[in-house]
Amino acid sequence: MRSRDEIGIGLFGFGFFFSFLGIILFFDRGLLALGNIFCLLGVALLLGWQSTWRLFTNKNNYKGSVSFLLGLFLIFVRWPIAGIIIEIFGCVNLFSVFWPSIKIFIFQVPVLGWILQYPFMLLDHLTKRG
């Protein structure tokens, strides 16, 4: 793993942590803004600057890009709850092409993967008996 990737993962992790902390602390605007900036920098370092630019400017991703940036703007102008809701919508639209890869990765994490897979395994087991 290159050092750029390690720094990108670290920045993304800090961004997620600060965003989570900002939500827990009653939508603290400063922590949410810091978390968003760290997440954006982490994604940019992981994907590369040109790939990140193409991701945000791709014609199919305009709805996600505009929603994400509008949510970030709303956080900066002191509307954090509306900003987070719009940002979540933007992230889901923007990164929807990565969900299958993310799902496979999360299912392979030792404890978390088993916990998330258990309801599906139980449902599969119940449908085979019936």
CA contacts within 13 A on the Cβ side of 114: 2
Give 39: exposed, middle or buried? Use CB within 10 Å, 0-12, 13-18, 19+: buried
Does residue 86 contact residue 70 with C-beta atoms inside 8 Å? yes
- In tens, the pLDDT along 101-110 reads 877 887 888 8
Q: How far is CA 56 from CA 40, 50, 52, 79, in A?
A: 11, 10, 6, 23
Q: Please check the confidence at residue 25 and state whether its pLDDT lies above 80.
A: yes
pLDDT of residue 81: 92
pTM score: 0.74
Does residue 47 contact residue 55 with C-beta atoms inside 8 Å? yes
Q: Please check the confidence at residue 130 and state whether its pLDDT lies above 70.
A: no
In Å, how far from its chain's centre is CA 96? 10
pLDDT of residue 89: 94
